[in-house]
Amino acid sequence: MNRPAVRDFALLLLRLVLGAVFVAHGYQHWFDAGMSATGREFADLGVPQPQLSAYLTGTVELIGGAFLAIGLLTTIAASLLALLALAATYFVHLGNGFFVADGGVEYTLVLAASLFMIVVFGTGRASLDGVLTRD
């Protein structure tokens, strides 16, 4: 089935869900826990340069998630967020097995794979990128 409208809707839905997830996580790092607490948590988890990593992670999640949701600079945002998801997989979740209930890699791998789909298939027409690049 090669229906452009269905493809565009599927990509829009995926972008909106992923964008909301990352905006929520970025908001949580910046405003709920705060950057100092996030940096301490990252240090406890063994993340290198924990304070810098906290600021970088919170910022990319918040801004990248918003850009992903609206479809602006989407490939760049999805690529950066996928790198963050893979870094979290490696530095935080890899030693905890597979399942998310045990702190494993399940969730971060799903995020990375979903973001990879957006990098490969693009934003679709229902995005600012789609609107700005139309002939």
How far apart, in whole angstroms, are the C-alpha atoms of residue 93 and residue 86? 10
pLDDT digits (tens, 9 = 90+) for 2-16: 688 999 999 999 999
Boundaries of every domain in the chain: 4-128
- CA angle (39, 78, 66) in 5-degree steps: 70
pLDDT digits (tens, 9 = 90+) for 67-85: 999 999 999 999 999 999 9
Average pLDDT over every residue of 16-45: 97
pLDDT digits (tens, 9 = 90+) for 84-93: 999 999 999 9
List % helix, strand, coil for the chain (3-state, nearest 5): 80, 0, 20
How far apart, in whole angstroms, are the C-alpha atoms of residue 4 and residue 58? 34
